[in-house]
Chain A
């Protein structure tokens, strides 16, 4: 038979050949090139979200992470992000009594990686460029009217209105001080028309022009960014010679690569990988909170809600109906319920003991008062198929649905593609939703977005309730807190705001997820900072 004759072929020879090729390939892997040893290299694995490395144009997490090593700002945050701002390129500053003028004195002897000295002209050029580019973070510079170099070591920022969060905003990497001489030679421009005239972005994607402890060596925006020690840094040389950021989009693969030792820090591990990693002695899991708040929102326009969740009693009933510890458990160890939209970790935030508690009897009684003793039906819209801060929004929505069912509220889950969701939300069209917020800068003032007059006022049509006392009171407090510079007075105002927001208004905070960072045990000195996540300058290896 045909088959018998053909089966006479010696298959084992082919097998032997395949094995030989595989082994040869295997032997060639695992090396690290560029002449710098693995011991002197810090490798961070993360899921890249990187459009540009131009500090004036970027606002993505990976750009912030990378630029922390390349650039410096006038002032910065303590390593763990908690506490007052501290000097960096400015050695001191003064704030005028009216809060409208900030005068910074620059540190002496600072040079850019090119060797050019840092001057006040570079500071003015960089900040005016950032403002003029009108990029996704340029709103941070809205309160700045002008930047003037008084002399080579003195810069004056004039504001168009008092901005108590200015120093906090200046710590954000978009305010990086750039080497203006180098960038002007590369087509960089500054001023109000920078969005039309600046041509320095492509240069900044392949070179750095800062004073940071590292310089950019190579960039592949979708695979890998390689940095090496800046020989011209004004600070002590960085402990490690090389710093590499590697794109590993899948959390499971990131975790495996860390356990294998091919990366030193994994930034995107999920709660279910933590237990596995904890059992590995070569890995440490460091608790971290990225200061994300995920919340439930109600639209106050009765024509959208059918006269249901816009009602104050219903809003209060839902606050009382939710199983907060159960929701926390979706986020893994360290997740918590914040008292309001302001997460624990932002200076002045109420601690978690102020968080709302479940009280089903009260929830039912409130619904009865509102005329909904038999409950009602309402669609709940949220970003579907979407995970943020380690929280799967589909699962979270199901939990909310189950909790509200206990008091008779029948929730129809309406997952929507994330950008379509925000398009509808921005237009104030969603009656009942789950959304999230990450701080643009680490100051409670960022959360005025959730006060009367803020962007979420518009998104929830809250102003429909503008005649209520809580709305009016919050509106006055919002106006005051936005111009109050005195820190004791600010703290008091924020406390009043949060106590009111906890029990009133169209938002209920559901969860502040924890997102631990996993590091190899031989990595020393790593501290999580919610703004930039990794500062390689403070990290060393045993």
Chain B
């Protein structure tokens, strides 16, 4: 594979995708039967001509549609995502504040689901039809089918309220000042700034929401891993390896696992993108100030700059994660390079 060409192709595809997203969202948000004036001003203010005129002027809603579109694109070229109508702040500032909260949560959730899901999936496959297999499959079924909001409330009730093992909602305990950067990931910032108390507090606040968020992905990873390992275990090369007298552990690690990781990897790539954008319920229950709730609230208020800004960030994240997945594919299966 010629990497510069591969990356250039990806970049062009991503740029076209982003332009498509902006255009689509622009059209959708302007054909919806909702007036941003009503969504953002109260009942009385939305009937007051001078307040409405000031609002429309401030947010550029008094310009013709095509002028709004062109102005948005030209601002975007300069790296300006505009101001959020609902927060009144630059969208870039909002994203810089809320995206790290989601990245921290989603990353820990993904790591948890890998650490739990992959071993259980493998265990389930190699003990097919025996107690460990049943246990793994039940865990997988529970993970996939338990509603996140219910699991969130029950886990808070049990581990926070009853057992007092873990803290309640929020990213930090009440009264703890957030570390002043540099990454916005509180655990990392706590470490970088030598604030170990902040590190532990942030870590303890992550345990419940990350576990809850990981539950669904873990269930999926167990299922997919189990199915793939079972398939590979039936392959001729595994039989050949056994016939050669290789140790079972060596067969599993060197032959089976490497050949059965493509499907779980695909799931993980998709799941990470989903975790970044779809953690709204977890964010509500655990009062987690992440990008999912930000996008949800922006959509409710027809806050076009915030909606597009969030969509762009999520699209870029998806593309980057999938690019990483594609690169790992080529390592796991060199034949892909030829495609």
CA distance A221 to B284 in the complex (A): 15
Contact A253 B153 (CB under 8 A): yes
On whether the beta carbons of B44 and A1 are closer than 8 Å, the reply is no
Whether, in the assembled complex, B314 has its beta carbon less than 8 Å from a beta carbon of chain A, the answer is no
B207 at the A interface (CB under 8 A): yes
Report which of B127, B156, B252, B293 forms a contact with A7, defined as CB distance below 8 A: B127
Q: Does A420 contact B (CB under 8 A)?
A: yes
Does B166 lie within 8 Å of A419, measured CB to CB?
Answer: no
In the assembled complex, the CB of A272 is this many whole angstroms from the nearest CB of chain B, namely 13
Interface 9-mer from B61-69, B136-144, B157-165: B157-165
Interface pair A29/B204, CB less than 8 Å apart: yes
Q: Spell out B's residues near A (CB within 8 Å).
A: 32-35, 38-48, 50-51, 53-55, 58, 86-89, 98, 123, 126-127, 130, 132, 153, 156-157, 160-161, 164-171, 173-178, 197, 200-201, 203-205, 207, 248-249, 251-252, 284-287, 289, 293-294, 300-302
Asked if A28 and B197 make an inter-chain contact with CB atoms under 8 angstroms apart, the answer reads yes
B319 to chain A, nearest CB (A): 27
**Minimum CB–CB distance for B334 against chain A, Å:** 26
Residues on A facing B (Cβ under 8 Å): 1-3, 5-7, 22-26, 28-34, 36, 41, 43, 51-52, 57, 59, 134-139, 142, 195, 201-202, 218, 220-224, 226, 242, 244, 246-250, 252-253, 256-257, 259-260, 262-263, 417-420, 422-424, 426, 437, 440, 449, 455, 458
5 closest A-B pairs by beta carbon, nearest first, are A2-B248, A134-B54, A28-B200, A222-B289, A419-B39
Rounded to whole Å, the gap between the CB of B317 and the closest CB of chain A is 20
CB of A297 to closest CB in B, whole Å: 13
29 interchain pairs, CB-CB under 8 A: A2-B248, A6-B249, A7-B132, A25-B204, A26-B164, A29-B204, A51-B87, A59-B45, A138-B48, A139-B44, A221-B87, A224-B174, A244-B174, A246-B174, A248-B287, A249-B293, A250-B169, A250-B285, A253-B153, A257-B169, A260-B160, A417-B34, A419-B35, A419-B38, A419-B300, A419-B301, A420-B33, A424-B33, A437-B43
Q: Which residues of A contact B204 (CB under 8 A)?
A: 25-26, 28-29
**Given contacts A250-B284, A257-B169, A440-B44, are A32 and B175 in contact (CB under 8 A)?**
yes
Complex CA gap A40/B40 in Å reads: 37
Q: Which residues of B contact A51 (CB under 8 A)?
A: 86-88
Task: Among B126, B166, B178, B287, find the residue whose CB has the most chain A CB atoms closer than 10 A.
Answer: B287
Instruction: Tell me whether A252 and B34 are in contact (CB under 8 A).
Output: no
Contacts of B156 in A (CB 8 A): 253, 256
User: Do B58 and A195 touch (CB < 8 A)?
Assistant: yes
On whether the beta carbons of B38 and A32 are closer than 8 Å, the reply is no
Residues of A within 8 A of B300 (CB): 417-419
Q: Which B residue sits closest to A202, measured CB to CB? A: B89
* Residue among A43, A134, A253 having the largest count of chain B Cβ atoms under 10 Å: A253
Whether the Cβ atoms of B165 and A26 lie closer than 8 Å is yes
Nearest chain-B residue to A58 (Cβ)?
Answer: B88
- A137's contact among B45, B132, B178, B293, by CB below 8 Å, is which? B45
Q: Which residues of B have CB within 8 Å of A242?
A: 175
Asked if residues B173 and A3 are in contact (CB atoms below 8 Å), the reply is no
Q: For the complex, what is the distance from the CA of A260 to the CA of B163, rounded to whole Å?
A: 11
User: Which residue of B50, B167, B294 contacts A134 across the interface (Cβ within 8 Å)?
Assistant: B50
A455 interface neighbour in B35, B44, B160, Cβ under 8 Å: B44
Cβ-defined contact, B176 with A136, below 8 A: no
Q: Chain A's nearest CB lies how many Å from the CB of B73?
A: 25
Q: Supply 11 further A-B pairs (C-beta < 8 A) apart from A246-B287, A257-B169.
A: A3-B126, A3-B130, A59-B42, A134-B53, A134-B54, A135-B51, A250-B285, A252-B153, A253-B286, A422-B38, A422-B43
Instruction: Kindly list chain A residues whose C-beta atoms are within 8 Å of the C-beta of B35.
Output: 419, 423, 426
Contact A136 B249 (CB under 8 A): no
Given the interface contacts A2-B126, A31-B173, A33-B175, does A136 sit within 8 Å of B43 by beta carbon? no
Q: For B55, what are the chain A residues with a Cβ–Cβ distance below 8 Å?
A: 134
